[in-house]
Amino acid sequence: MRTYTGTGVTPLTGLGEVVWYAETVELDDPPEPSEVDPDAERERFESARETAEADLESERERARERVGEEEAEVFGAHVQFLNDPQIADGVESAIGEGLPAEHAVHEAFADSIEQFEGMEGRMAERADDLRDVRDRLVRVLSGSAGTDLADLPEGSVVVAERLTPSDTAKLDPERVAGFATALGGRTSHAAIFARSLGLPAVVGVGEELKGIEEGNEVVVDGEAGEVIVEPDAGARERATAAREVETRSEPVETADGREIEVAANLGTLAELEGAVEQGADGIGLFRTEFLFLDRESPPDEDEQYETYREALSAFPDGRVVVRTLDVGGDKPIPYLDLPESENPFLGERGIRRSLGPDRELFETQLRALLRAAAGEGRLAVMFPLVSTVEELEGALAAVERVAADLESEGVKHAIPELGVMVETPGAVFLAEELAARVDFLSIGTNDLAQYVMAAARDDERVADLHDPLHPPVLRAIARSVEAAHANDAWIGMCGEMAGDPDYTELLVGLGLDELSMSAVTIPAVKGRIVDCETDAADRVASRALDASTRNEITETIDQ
């Protein structure tokens, strides 16, 4: 048994047989120029380019369905690289010099790849994109299909130096037990795809990964970030046991009987099925932005109604918490006049827009929601970025007004459960007053950490500060929980913290009633809840709240 360490990107473990995947096709030396017919090569290149474009379009479609709109757009970039005039010129001149099409493609890409490789950060990733496009063309031209990642034997573990987005999107989570790569980090495309697909995965293992051979039995532990080759009985058992806890379709409780709702965060309807499969009890955060993005005019009331009904019907016994439109300077919507702001996160966003320039949109959304609440299922609606009582009262008044309109029109409707997202320090300090006016609170830890720590979430230079384990954030959470319970409101958490199984015991101890997360982490978190004793969890939470540094809190959790 040998263990390789890398970065785990999903809290999942898989066991299987290694299939080594080499992305690049090795080319033989080119024939003599006199043996090459340039016109024929031009035609071969043109037809390969068309085939590659058609393939990219179908992969874009597949990624859209399986991984989501945003990640699928990487294929849009690939199409542009494929059709780049610089590449076309390079290929043309290499063919003119007597090279066959596949060699010409290699040559045409070489300079650009080198140029991007020398650049920093995200720019260097463009070199990967170019290699991906080049290899796709060469594969089509040389007729070498290579290993078909879409058709691997069941129980395969894919091991590769790197996996491109198109490679990763082909992996079928029903058949593939996981993957490990030498290169890549937590935010690489491969990692993001792994999380969306629910695949055990370890990336960034390094060159040592090459010590693994085709056919070796391996455990891929995406939580510990380990690849175990030829695992002993113990390691194998742990891997299969970890797989067994994977789905609990029923709600769970702690070992001593405290029920904790475990729900999914959802960005599009396409993710509904995955949420049900991973055993979500309901939806704890249904982002409605996707309904409004990428279109020329806002969705009408009926379209929204149908969407909310579809989500509700996927969870006949669970609760579906819909967040009203949360846009601001950081999200583009062509038909909205979104302000330019030096500081979009501190600008007009969330409820501030709903009560201001987007009021009409907000009321249409509320009409659709109130109508949807009248059918089967339990609908809840929450308002984002509330930081004053006036804002909440404004939102509640809008609900009443919409209800009165629907009543007078004789349209069937009901008032859903209503709640507030706790994301700003303002909401934390007002948690009592807010909780007294609604049915529930839901803590968005990503924004809460950003605002409490005054550290932008996407600024890597302050990434250390942007962590919910800093005492001020943890105390803000504890304070919100206390305020909710003192006012007979339930309280959930829908930020990233909720989906990290390492924090589950702490969060149970802090008193959260509901945890909502990416579907893929639900089985692991449910597994932790079942093992949790509330006494022990309370002790962890109270030690963490006494701590004055993040390190002390981290130690508390690790104990």
Partner 1 sequence: MERVVEIVPEAGLHARPAAKFVETANEYDAEVTVAPVEDGEGEGVAASSMIAVTSLGVKGGEEVRLSAEGEDAEAALDALEEVLSTPEEGDGE
Asked if residue 70 binds partner 1 (CB under 8 A), the reply is: yes
Residues 359, 360, 365: CA angle, nearest 5 degrees: 95
Q: In a 3-state reduction of DSSP, which class is residue 256? A: coil
From 334, 328, 330, select the one nearest 348 (Cα to Cα): 328
For the chain, the distance separating the N- and C-terminal CA atoms, rounded to the nearest angstrom, is 27
Binding-site member from 175, 238, 331, 539 for partner 1 (CB under 8 A) = 331
Marked catalytic residue, from 106, 413, 494, 532: 494
Q: What are phi and psi of 203, to 5 degrees?
A: -120, 165
Asked if residue 215 binds partner 1 (CB under 8 A), the reply is: no
Least distance CB 451 / partner 1 (angstroms): 11
The smaller minimum CB distance to partner 1, of residues 154 and 458, is found at 458
From 6, 12, 20, select the one nearest 227 (Cα to Cα): 6
DSSP output for 157-173: EEEES---HHHHHH--T
Asked if residue 129 binds partner 1 (CB under 8 A), the reply is: yes
Q: Where are the alpha helices (DSSP H) in 489-533?
A: 504-510, 522-531
Binding-site member from 287, 378, 539, 543 for partner 1 (CB under 8 A) = 287
Q: In a 3-state reduction of DSSP, which class is residue 233? A: helix
Distance CA 164, CA 181 (A): 11
Question: Is 423 labeled as ligand-binding?
Answer: yes
The smaller minimum CB distance to partner 1, of residues 83 and 549, is found at 83
Asked if residue 384 binds partner 1 (CB under 8 A), the reply is: yes
Query: Which residue has 């874009």 as its token pair?
Result: 60
Q: What are phi and psi of 368, to 5 degrees?
A: -60, -40
Which residues, 6 to 45, sit near partner 1 by CB under 8 A? none
Burial of 318 (0-12, 13-18, 19+ CB in 10 A): buried
Question: Is 446 labeled as ligand-binding?
Answer: yes
User: For strand 490-493 and strand 176-181, is the pairing parallel, antiparallel, or unpaired?
Assistant: unpaired
Asked if residue 57 binds partner 1 (CB under 8 A), the reply is: no
> The tokens of 526 are what?
């449910």
Distance CA 416, CA 349 (A): 23
> The tokens of 203 are what?
């990336």
From 509, 501, 552, 557, select the one nearest 525 (Cα to Cα): 501
Single-letter residue type at 368? A
Asked if residue 475 binds partner 1 (CB under 8 A), the reply is: no
Q: Is 485 annotated as catalytic? A: no
Total residues binding partner 1 (CB under 8 A): 48
Question: Is 457 labeled as ligand-binding?
Answer: yes
Distance CA 125, CA 489 (A): 47
Q: Map residues 232-271 to x or -, x wherever contact with partner 1 holds by CB under 8 A.
A: -----------------------------------x----
The smaller minimum CB distance to partner 1, of residues 242 and 443, is found at 443
Long-range contacts from 114-123, C-beta under 8 angstroms, 24+ separation: none
Asked if residue 272 binds partner 1 (CB under 8 A), the reply is: no
> The tokens of 182 are what?
């030498």
Q: Where are the alpha helices (DSSP H) in 37-184?
A: 38-66, 69-82, 85-96, 101-117, 122-142, 165-170
User: For strand 252-253 and strand 490-493, is the pairing parallel, antiparallel, or unpaired?
Assistant: unpaired
C-alpha dist (Å) from residue 11 to 151, 191, 479? 25, 12, 29
Q: Which residues of 273-292 are buried (b: 16+ CB within 10 A; e: fewer)?
A: ebbebbbbbbbbbbbbebbb
Least distance CB 385 / partner 1 (angstroms): 9
The smaller minimum CB distance to partner 1, of residues 156 and 324, is found at 324
Binding-site member from 85, 143, 215, 234 for partner 1 (CB under 8 A) = 85
Asked if residue 419 binds partner 1 (CB under 8 A), the reply is: no
Binding-site member from 330, 360, 400, 407 for partner 1 (CB under 8 A) = 330
Binding-site member from 119, 145, 397, 486 for partner 1 (CB under 8 A) = 119
Marked catalytic residue, from 189, 413, 466, 470: 189
Residues 6+ apart with CB under 8 A from 483: 431, 432, 434, 435, 441
Q: Which stretch binds partner 1 (CB under 8 A): 84-92, 239-247, 249-257, 311-319?
A: 84-92
Residues 63, 330, 496: CA angle, nearest 5 degrees: 65
Least distance CB 502 / partner 1 (angstroms): 20
The smaller minimum CB distance to partner 1, of residues 85 and 143, is found at 85
Asked if residue 339 binds partner 1 (CB under 8 A), the reply is: no
Least distance CB 81 / partner 1 (angstroms): 5
The smaller minimum CB distance to partner 1, of residues 216 and 304, is found at 304
Q: Which stretch binds partner 1 (CB under 8 A): 77-85, 226-234, 372-380, 546-554?
A: 77-85
Q: Map residues 394-413 to x or -, x wherever contact with partner 1 holds by CB under 8 A.
A: --------------------
Q: Is 189 annotated as catalytic? A: yes
> The tokens of 270 are what?
């396409």
From 386, 372, 384, select the one nearest 416 (Cα to Cα): 372
Question: Is 42 labeled as ligand-binding?
Answer: no
Question: Is 487 labeled as ligand-binding?
Answer: no
Least distance CB 47 / partner 1 (angstroms): 21
Least distance CB 79 / partner 1 (angstroms): 8
Helix and strand numbers, DSSP H then E, in the chain: 22, 17
Asked if residue 211 binds partner 1 (CB under 8 A), the reply is: no
Q: Which stretch binds partner 1 (CB under 8 A): 18-26, 97-105, 124-132, 228-236?
A: 124-132
Asked if residue 79 binds partner 1 (CB under 8 A), the reply is: yes
Please enumerate, by residue number, every residue annotated as part of a binding site. Answer: 287, 323, 423, 446-447, 457
**Given the rule CB under 8 A, which residues bind partner 1?**
70, 73-74, 76-77, 79-81, 83-87, 112, 115-116, 119, 122-123, 125-126, 129-130, 267, 285, 287, 289, 293, 323, 326, 329-332, 334, 338, 340, 344, 384, 421, 423, 444-447, 458, 494-495
Catalytic residue set: 189, 494
Please enumerate, by residue number, every residue annotated as part of a binding site for phosphoenolpyruvate. Answer: 287, 323, 446-447, 457
Please enumerate, by residue number, every residue annotated as part of a binding site for Mg(2+). Answer: 423, 447
